[in-house]
């Protein structure tokens, strides 16, 4: 009997960072995992797609963490392929570049005397009369920056990302992602500069695999294989069967439309919670189905453009705050790793569009999307549309779990019900409806396997603060 014919000790649904980390941890502890991945390749949202030799991230993916076990897994898997990349990312607004977190002098200089005075007045007003009901993202930022800076540097971009007005986004999201940043702290830093108190390498540089994040996940896939586990791509889990107390088996559909039943003593899922609940057989009670169906997501389209010019901009990525273009962020992949761009006489950029599946952005035909992105690059003054050699459109459903005002209530309903299935755990970004990064998803994978091994671990208790270390230090807002 070969390794791949041995019975599975664990079925893992999804071959993204959470699922592969769980599979690897179980394989190295003697529990044979079978990973079932619907997509063509592993990596989930952190995969790297290859078109004509050019490599595209689904948005750029930095590798940063404060968690030693995550860092060592990256290092031992990638070895010398994990490189340090210089970091630069700025806001591009009205043809000017702004550091983020905002640098006071640069902001005032770029805005000019009239807008700057208005910004300072509005900030002073917000400090003197803060909104005492700080419930929304808008309240939270306005209290710390004033309305004028909120309108210029937060509103448009945030609404592009989430597709809902800032007053409908919970303050908790701002508190998690922007941390203790305020215009006041920026002014204090400008007047009394303090040394950055984080390790410099984490702030000015970040780790990144030579061939993009997908390289990490493809190499981990190989390691799982060599430990006796199996990772099956193009195999989607369509049904999750249970007897009310435990999951008995899953049904998969492969790319050749073959259905297979897969049994195992333990199951871990990283699929989105709404998909999971819809695929449970028998269906759970109506209130559970209703709670899952009420969770919202934001979808994402990356338009990769290969431009016959170099040196378009120095940043790894730019935030685009102008309301007159639809693009929200632009990656410059050669600045992440030159090896992503096979022809050094060209640039490869990723134009990021945030949308909802089925809307006019999501459904734009590929050729029209490439035209739109090329026009917008020219409109922003970064390159001529005529310099675009070719483009590719990559659609990513459920890129972001949405923290709307109701999500917590729905999530709690699911979280209370799911433990009824004793041998089943749901982990990862969409598996827990948590806006996390790779390292946090990986930690949920480790916790789930440790729990199977009888340790007192709980993926729901993974502390996001541990993995948001860099945000705490640098006080950035990112998506």
Ligand X SMILES: Cc1cc2nc3c(=O)[nH]c(=O)nc-3n(C[C@H](O)[C@H](O)[C@H](O)COP(=O)(O)OP(=O)(O)OC[C@H]3O[C@@H](n4cnc5c(N)ncnc54)[C@H](O)[C@@H]3O)c2cc1C
x/- map, 411-430, ligand X, by CB under 6 A: -----------------xxx
Is residue 247 a contact partner of residue 240, using CB atoms and an 8 Å limit? yes
Q: Which is nearer to ligand X, 120 or 231 (CB)?
A: 231
CB of 348 to ligand X, least distance (A): 16
74-133 residues near ligand X, rule: CB under 6 A: none
With binding defined as CB under 6 A, does residue 14 bind ligand X? yes
Is residue 241 a contact partner of residue 250, using CB atoms and an 8 Å limit? yes
Is residue 11 a contact partner of residue 423, using CB atoms and an 8 Å limit? no
With binding defined as CB under 6 A, does residue 17 bind ligand X? yes
Q: Which is nearer to ligand X, 150 or 403 (CB)?
A: 403
Q: Tell me 155's DSSP state.
A: I
Contact with ligand X (CB under 6 A): which of 27, 38, 82, 111? 38
The CA distances from residue 109 to 94, 113, 119, in Å, are: 13, 8, 12
Candidates 43-51, 162-170, 224-232, 362-370 — which segment interacts with ligand X by CB under 6 A? Answer: 43-51
Candidates 30-38, 241-249, 309-317, 449-457 — which segment interacts with ligand X by CB under 6 A? Answer: 30-38
CB of 114 to ligand X, least distance (A): 35
Candidates 176-184, 268-276, 314-322, 340-348 — which segment interacts with ligand X by CB under 6 A? Answer: 268-276
With binding defined as CB under 6 A, does residue 34 bind ligand X? no
Is residue 336 a contact partner of residue 404, using CB atoms and an 8 Å limit? no
Is residue 202 a contact partner of residue 471, using CB atoms and an 8 Å limit? no
Is residue 60 a contact partner of residue 315, using CB atoms and an 8 Å limit? no
Q: What sections of 330-478 are H helices per DSSP?
A: 366-379, 407-417, 438-452, 464-467, 469-474
State the DSSP string of 405-431: TTHHHHHHHHHHHGGGSTTEEE-STTT
Largest CA distance in the chain: 77
Contact with ligand X (CB under 6 A): which of 300, 313, 319, 336? 300
Residue with tokens 């800076």: 149
Q: Which is nearer to ligand X, 19 or 209 (CB)?
A: 19
Contact with ligand X (CB under 6 A): which of 32, 55, 61, 147? 61
Provide the token pair at 270: 């990283």
234-263 residues near ligand X, rule: CB under 6 A: 236-237
User: How many chain residues bind ligand X (CB under 6 A)?
Assistant: 35
Contact with ligand X (CB under 6 A): which of 85, 142, 441, 475? 441
Q: Which is nearer to ligand X, 139 or 274 (CB)?
A: 274
Residues belonging to the chain: 479
With binding defined as CB under 6 A, does residue 11 bind ligand X? no
Provide the token pair at 81: 């392929």
Q: Determine how β-strand 347-355 pairs with β-strand 329-332.
A: antiparallel
Query: Using CA atoms, how far apart are residues 228 and 98, in angstroms rounded to an integer?
Result: 50
Candidates 7-15, 68-76, 182-190, 223-231 — which segment interacts with ligand X by CB under 6 A? Answer: 7-15
CB of 233 to ligand X, least distance (A): 9
Contact with ligand X (CB under 6 A): which of 8, 23, 34, 45? 45
With binding defined as CB under 6 A, does residue 13 bind ligand X? yes
Interior angle at CA 50, CA 238 and CA 222, nearest 5? 65
Residue with tokens 């089925």: 358
Contact with ligand X (CB under 6 A): which of 8, 10, 11, 18? 18
Instruction: Give the chain's radius of gyration (CA, Å).
Output: 23
Interface residue list for ligand X (CB under 6 A): 13-19, 36-39, 44-46, 58-62, 236-237, 270-271, 275, 300, 399-400, 428-430, 436-439, 441
């Amino acid at each position: 009997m070969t390794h791949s014919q041995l019975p599975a000790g664990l079925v893992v649904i999804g071959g993204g960072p959470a699922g592969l980390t769980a599979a690897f941890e179980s394989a190295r502890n003697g529990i044979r995992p079978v990973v079932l991945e619907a997509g063509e390749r592993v990596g989930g949202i952190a995969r790297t797609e290859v078109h004509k030799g050019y490599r595209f991230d689904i948005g750029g993916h930095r590798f940063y963490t404060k968690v030693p076990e995550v860092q060592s897994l990256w290092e031992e898997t990638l070895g010398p392929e994990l490189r340090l990349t210089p970091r630069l990312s700025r806001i591009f607004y009205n043809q000017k570049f702004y550091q983020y977190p905002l640098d006071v002098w640069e902001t005032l200089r770029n805005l000019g005397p009239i807008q700057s005075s208005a910004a300072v007045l509005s900030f002073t007003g917000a400090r003197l009369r803060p909104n005492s009901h700080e419930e929304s993202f808008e309240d939270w930022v306005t209290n710390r920056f004033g309305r004028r800076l909120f309108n210029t540097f937060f509103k448009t971009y945030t609404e592009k990302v989430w597709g809902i007005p800032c007053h409908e986004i919970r303050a908790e999201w701002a508190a998690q992602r922007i941390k203790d940043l305020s215009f006041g702290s920026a002014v204090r830093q400008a007047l009394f500069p303090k040394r950055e108190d984080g390790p410099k390498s984490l702030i000015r540089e970040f780790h990144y695999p030579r061939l993009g994040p997908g390289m990490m996940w493809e190499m981990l896939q190989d390691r799982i294989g060599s430990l006796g586990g199996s990772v099956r791509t193009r195999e989607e889990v369509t049904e999750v069967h249970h007897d009310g107390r435990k999951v008995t088996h899953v049904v998969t559909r492969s790319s050749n439309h073959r259905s297979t039943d897969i049994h195992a003593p333990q199951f871990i899922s990283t699929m989105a919670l709404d998909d999971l609940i819809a695929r449970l057989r028998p269906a759970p009670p109506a209130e559970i189905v209703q709670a899952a169906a009420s969770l919202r997501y934001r979808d994402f389209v990356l338009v990769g453009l290969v431009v016959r010019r170099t040196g378009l901009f120095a940043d790894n990525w730019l935030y685009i705050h102008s309301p007159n273009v639809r693009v929200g962020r632009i990656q410059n992949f050669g600045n992440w790793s030159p090896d992503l761009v096979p022809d050094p006489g060209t640039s490869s950029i990723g134009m990021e569009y945030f949308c909802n599946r089925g809307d006019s952005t999501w459904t734009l035909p590929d050729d029209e999307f490439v035209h739109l992105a090329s026009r917008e690059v020219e409109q922003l003054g970064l390159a001529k549309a005529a310099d675009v050699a070719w483009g590719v459109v990559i659609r990513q459903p459920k890129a972001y779990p949405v923290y709307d005002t109701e999500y917590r209530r729905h999530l709690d309903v699911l979280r209370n019900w799911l433990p009824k299935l004793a041998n089943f755990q749901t982990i990862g970004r969409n598996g827990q409806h948590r806006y996390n990064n790779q390292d946090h998803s990986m930690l949920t994978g480790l916790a789930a396997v440790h729990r199977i091994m009888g340790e007192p671990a709980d993926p729901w208790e993974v502390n996001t603060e541990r993995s948001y270390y860099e945000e705490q230090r640098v006080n950035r807002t990112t998506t």
